[in-house]
Structure formats: structure tokens, C-alpha cells
Amino acid sequence: MKIKILLVDDEKEFIKTLAQRLKIRNFAVTTVYSGQDAIDIAKENDFDVIILDVFMPEITGIDALKQINKIKPLTQIILLTGAATVENAIQGMKLGAFDFLMKPANTELLVEKITQAHALKHEHEERIRQAEIENILKTRGW
Amino acid sequence: MFKKIINIIFFFKKKPRNHYAILKRNIIIIMMLITILPLAAMIIINFFQYRSHLKSQIIAPLYAMAEKTRHSFELFWEQRLAIIRFISTAYSFEVLSNEQNIKKILISLKKEGEGFIDISLINNQGELVSYAGPYSLLGKNYSEQVSFQETQIKGQYISNVFLGYRKYPHIVIAVQHLADNGKNWILRATIDTNFFDNLISSMGLPRQTDAFLMSKDKILQTNSLYYGNTLEKCLLQLPKVNFRSNSIEGTDNENRDIIIISSAFSMADYILVIVQPQSVALKSWYALKTDMLIIFLMSITIIIFAILKMTTIMVKRIKTSDEQRENVLSELQHAQKLSSIGRLAAGVAHEINNPLAIINEKAGLMSDLIGFAKEFNKKSKFIDLTNSILNSVVRCRKITHRLLGFSKRIDIKIESINMNHIINEVLDFLKKDILYRKIDTNLILSDSLVSIQSDHGQIQQILVNLLTNAFAAVEDYGLIEIKTKNIKNRGIRVTISDNGCGIPNNVIKNIFDPFFSTKKDKGTGLGLSITYGIIKKLGGKISVDSKIGKGSIFTFELPEKPNDLEMINE
């Protein structure tokens, strides 16, 4: 099963090309161009990893991160920005981002991070599933 | 003076080249004037007051002595004159003309009154009528002598010392007697001058002090210790002569400084003179004067020393303060300039990063497509071209990231921070590296670590840089230890040690230099340089200790608050 990725950036040209490259690498990629669209689409779908630009008009990447975390806590978010500082990175990590990359990012590194993020999400899901099974077993007395 | 004060007031405005030397000179001059002048004035006034007072104190006993001695002399002459006057009244001319009678009278006189040598009766013609004494003077005529003439006019006479017919120093006292029958005669006695010497020696004069009698025409009447013998001319300059004691200061013929006290007699042509060397008279004054001079010189020395020392310290502090102010201003200007450049750089970097990302992705896609495509003509050439574009993007990325790093280093925001919290934040940020590489992190964080005034973001940057280096230095399963502790009254110390490869000695001295990197293509050579710059900017210091194969220890200290906090905040 392909890893589902949501790409969010107001730079359409960039995001289109990156989407193509990730598709070549066998990822299922969806693209949106604003923070609000990202929140809306995240509500409807279950993405494994969201790659989020930090500096966007209206809703910034950080704001979108906060909201998506509430809606889909298991979805892993990688922040991507053209003007990062250590403070931004640490703030993002504190808010629950999986990692932080600077533009222009090395694609292989990005792929590696996506894979790691997906593995983490999978791990969390597995743990939750295990907990649910244990809970059902306990409830039914088996 | 006024001009100097004006110069000092306008000193800070003018600031000539060697203005600190001029300031120092002016302060020294003014301080010396305001301290030494009053002291000198006080010393001079005291000098004259003490001198005047002490002189009067010293001379007073000499005056008393002169007065007392003069009275003794006058009493002596009064007594002698009274005796002679009594004889002239008690006996008639005829009785006294008898030589036997007059000899008896002389015997009685010698018994009763000291100093009588002879006695003679002289008629109104000046002829010696009768005589009792050791010499043969009968028939002598005194009518031409001053003593006879003055006695005839004044009724009595006391002579100066003279040799006379006797060739022996003596004085004569004479009394005129006017008989009821209108006849007049003179009774004349000669007195030995030894009595004068006895009287003077009984004065109890201090050491080196001379006293003698002289006539008003400066002929010595008694022997002097230093100024001649009886009947010699005395060359001393005398004080004004009147019937009270007077004194003057002068120099004698041996060039000694002396004090001369004179006291003139009312009943005879005599002056009593006391001469005392100033070295004796003013001994206590000289001692006091020397003491005053020593105290004055010592005070001046202390004042000058204190002024020089204080002025040097003061001017040095002004200079240091000026230099610090100028440095801070220049740093501020520099910082503002860098800040502007930094903001510009950050803006440019951000704006460039986005199109650069597009180029990167387009070239990457192109490379992907070519890579996945079947073999076609010049495929490898296209792959080389896209790789070249991608390599250029990597180069540009390094530049833009460096520009962003540079801009981050500029702006400082001071707040109260807890270093332990920041260490945990940064480790959290780096936790993936720690987990994937199984690096053991040992935290020895002080529970009582003080909060410091510093820049949160900049400290995060320092820790990220140092920890990234430590991660690069250690192998997988390596150990990194982070310690924090308080430094008494000086802030905090953070030590980051690793058991990695260590840094060679020839490299360690350059590790804080910009663009110095041992990571070849991987590093920009700015990490430790930026770290060093930030720590310096925050008022701290950093040091490194390393052994090849054993690991490195980076230690940095930060003050409780940066020294130039205000300037930074401005």
C-alpha cells in the first residue's frame, strides 16, 4: 500500500514538480496551495504524512500544524521552509512536527524522512490497535 | 586661570589629539593651585605671626635685664653723688681744705662706699686745694677741663671713663657747693671702674651674650667680649637712643647676625648695650621654623603625590570609559549595520530559496525522468547536465543557508531563561538522531541552576551547533555528556563532552575561525565561528579541550546578564 502524502505550499510550480517526483518514488500524493485547504482536506482524508510549508499567506504552516494535529493526531507532519531559524524549527517540533527541512531540500533526504515518519505513524497505529484488542478482550472477558 | 577653566569646560567638545594629556595637566595644575596656594598662604602667615610672637617672647627678658642693670648703675651713681653732696654740705671749705681732714673723710668713704679711689677739693678757680688719695695731684688746675665746667654749670657731674693724669681708667663724680657767703667750690671724687665690670658680670647673661657700657659717642666704657676694650671705639650700629630700652637686628664686624638692645642712662652720658647672636636668641624660633618647613614640604609632597596618583587614575578611568563608550557606539553602529545587512540577507535568502527549490525539483524531476527512461542518444550527457544543475543548487543552498545563519546571529532578544530547559528542548529537537544512532546522552544538570538574562534563540543555536558537532564526532552507540552548574556570582557554565574522535592539536587553535572546517564538503566552517560570536556577544566565553581518540570537551560560560545589556536592548 502506497504512503499517502499531502503537499502544502503556495509555490504551485514547486509543489507540482515535487509531487511528480514523489509519485515516481511510489507515493500517493495530493497537493493543496494554502493552509486552510490543507486543514479542510486533512479532515476528509487520512494522510500518512503531510509536508507543510511554514511561510504561507493567511494561515501559516505553524497554525495549520496546530489544527491538523488536533484533527488527525496520528498524521506525521514535516515542516519545509525557505527561511528557517533554529527557533522556528524548535517551535515546530514542540508543536508535534515530525521533522523540519529547509528548502531547497535534498529529495533523497526528504524521502528518508517521509519513510521514517510513516514508520512512526504505523508504529502508533499498531500500538493503538493492540491496545484496542486488549481492551476488547478485557471487556468480553476472553 | 579663567582661560584654563574655560579650556577644561570645553575639553569634551574640542577633544584635541592628546586631550587626555592636556586634561591631566590641567587637572593637576588646578588641583595644585587650590590645595597648595592656601597651604602656602597659611604657612607664610603662621611664619610671620610665630616669628613676631616668639621674638617678643625672646627679647622681653633681655629688655628686663637691661632695665634692671641700668637701674643698678643709676642707683650706684645716685648713692655716690649723695655721699659727696652730703660731705660738701656737712663740712665747710676750710675744714675740707685741711689735708688731714680730707684724708679722714676718704678713709670713712672707703669704709662705707665701694669704689672710691680719691677725693679732692677744687676752688672756683679750678685749682686743686686739697687732695686725699694715692696720687700727687696738688697744684693741678682743672679750670680748662670739661668736668670742672659742667659741674660749674649743672651743679653735679658724672664723667665718662678716662685715663686723666692717673693713666688709669676711672670716672669722676663732682658736686658743686654754694656757700652762704656766695663762694662756691667743688668736691670731686674718683671711682674705680672695676665696679662696672662686677655689675655687668652679675647680670647672669646667657651664653655668647655680651653686655657693656658705652658713651653716646660710642667709646666703650667697659670691656666687651667681642667688640673691644675700655676706651676703644665701638663700631656697632645702635638702636635709637632714648630713655627706654630699644632693640634692633643687625650684623657685627664678624658677619654674625645679632640682636642689639640698648638702654640709655638719664643722669649720665652712658648707654648700656646687650648683644646676643640671633642663633642663640632665636634658637627656638629656628627649630620651629625648620619644623614648619619640614611639615610644609612633607604636606606638599603628599599633596603632589596624591594629586598625581588621583589624576592619573581619574584620567585613566575617563579614557577607559570614553574608549568603552566609543567601542560600544562603534559596535552598536556595526551591529545596526550588520542587522540591516542581516535582514536584507535573510530576505534575499528566503526569496531565493523558493525559486531555488523549484529549480531543484525541476532538475530533480528531469533527472528522475531521464534516469527512468530507456536508453536514448546522449542520455548520459543529459544526466550529467541535470546533476550539474543539482550540484549548483546545492552550492546556492549552502550560500542562502549561510546568509540566514548570518542574519540569525545579528538580532539579540534578551529574556530570562533557564539553561536546563533549553538543553532539554534542543535534545528533543535532536532526539531522532539520538534514537537512530543509539547515542547515549548523560545529563548532569544542576537543580539549583540560576536563571540568566540572555537570548533564548541564540542559546538554542549554540547548543544545536555544539551538539551537532558532538554527534558528528562520536560513532554509533557513542556517549555525550552535558553538565550545567552555577559559577559563583558570574553566571553559569555548560560543559558538553563526547567520547568521539577528538580534535588534532594543529586544528584546535583554528576551530573558531570562520570558514575553517574539517568536514570538507559537509560543513560550511561557520558553525563554531557563529557559536563563538554568539557567546562573545552574550558576554560569555568558550573553551575547548580535546584528546585524539578520547574525545572533546566544549565548555562555555554565560554571565547572569550581558554587560552591555542596555546597549543591546537599545
Would you list the DSSP string of A67-99?
HHHHH-TTSEEEEEESS--HHHHHHHHHTT-SE
Beta strand A99-102 with A76-81 is parallel
B220 SS3 class: strand
pTM for the complete prediction?
0.43
CB–CB of A82 and B464 under 8 A?
no
Cell of B257: 647676625
**B561 φ/ψ angles, rounded to the nearest 5 degrees:** -150, 145
Considering CB atoms only, which of B360, B425, B457 is closest to A85? B457
Beta strand B415-417 with B452-454 is antiparallel
How many contiguous H segments (helices) and E segments (strands) does chain B have? 16, 16
pLDDT of residue B570: 34
Tell me if ipTM is over 0.85: no
Each of the 570 residues of chain B gets a pLDDT tens digit; together they read: 555 555 554 454 455 557 888 888 999 999 989 988 998 899 899 889 988 888 888 888 888 888 888 888 888 888 888 889 899 888 888 888 888 999 999 988 888 777 888 999 998 888 988 999 888 878 888 888 888 888 888 888 988 888 876 677 888 899 999 877 778 899 999 888 877 888 888 877 777 888 888 888 888 888 888 888 888 888 888 887 776 788 888 888 888 888 898 888 887 788 889 888 888 777 788 888 889 899 989 999 999 999 999 999 999 999 888 888 887 776 666 556 656 666 677 777 777 888 888 898 889 888 888 888 888 888 888 888 888 888 888 888 877 776 776 555 555 677 888 999 889 888 877 777 788 788 898 999 988 888 898 888 788 888 888 888 888 888 888 999 999 999 887 889 999 999 988 888 878 777 776 555 665 445 545 567 778 878 887 888 888 898 888 899 999 999 988 765 444 433
Contacts with B358 (C-beta within 8 Å, 6 or more apart), sequence order: A11, A13, A14, A17
CB–CB of A82 and B353 under 8 A?
yes
CB–CB of A102 and B358 under 8 A?
no
**What's the half-sphere exposure (Cβ side, CA atoms, 13 Å) at B214?**
26
Angle at B251 between CA B250 and CA B252, to 5 degrees: 125
Per CB-CB distance under 8 Å, the chain A contacts of B353 are: 82-83, 102-104
pLDDT of residue B70: 86
Best B350, B352, B358 residue to mutate vs chain A (most A CBs within 10 Å): B358
pLDDT of residue B382: 87
CB–CB of B361 and A18 under 8 A?
yes
Query: Residues B424, B427, B428, B430: what is their CA dihedral angle, to the nearest 10 degrees?
Result: 170
Considering Cα of B272, then B273, then B276, then B282, what sign does the dihedral take? positive
| E-state strands within B371-490 | 415-417, 440-444, 452-454, 479-487
Name the nearest CA neighbour of B414 among B558, B215, B206: B558
Q: How far apart are CA B74 and CA B71, in angstroms?
A: 5
Distance from CA of B462 to the nearest CA of A (A): 10
What residue type is B278 in one-letter code? Q
pLDDT of residue B444: 92
CB–CB of A13 and B358 under 8 A?
yes
Any idea where the domains of chain A sit in the sequence?
A: 3-140
Confirm or reject contact between A55 and chain B (CB < 8 A). Answer: yes
Distance from CA of B365 to the nearest CA of A (A): 6
Within chain B, all domains assigned CATH 3.30.565.10 are found at: 414-570
Confirm or reject contact between A65 and chain B (CB < 8 A). Answer: no
Q: What CATH number was assigned to the domain covering residues B14-281?
A: 3.30.450.20
Per CB-CB distance under 8 Å, the chain A contacts of B362 are: 13, 17
Write out the CATH class of domain A3-140.
Answer: alpha beta
Each of the 142 residues of chain A gets a pLDDT tens digit; together they read: 889 999 999 888 889 999 999 998 999 999 999 999 999 999 999 999 999 988 888 888 888 999 999 999 999 999 988 766 666 777 788 888 888 888 888 888 899 999 999 999 999 889 998 888 888 888 766 5
B226 SS3 class: coil
Q: How far apart are CA B541 and CA B319, in angstroms?
A: 26
Distance of CA B12 to the CA centre of its chain: 27
Considering CB atoms only, which of B354, B360, B457 is closest to A86? B457
CB–CB of B357 and A86 under 8 A?
no
Within chain B, all domains assigned CATH 3.30.450.20 are found at: 14-281
Q: How far apart are CA A38 and CA A9, in angstroms?
A: 9
Considering CB atoms only, which of A18, A24, A89 is closest to B372? A24
pLDDT of residue B553: 93
B478, B467 Cβ separation under 8 angstroms: no
Q: Looking at domain B414-570, does it have CATH number 3.30.565.10?
A: yes
Distance from CA of B348 to the nearest CA of A (A): 10
B296 forms beta bridges with: none
Beta strand B491-498 with B479-487 is antiparallel
Chain B neighbours among A 17-36 (CB < 8 Å)? Answer: 17-18, 20-21, 24
Contacts with A86 (C-beta within 8 Å, 6 or more apart), sequence order: B408, B457, B460, B461, B464
Considering CB atoms only, which of B346, B364, B404 is closest to A21? B364
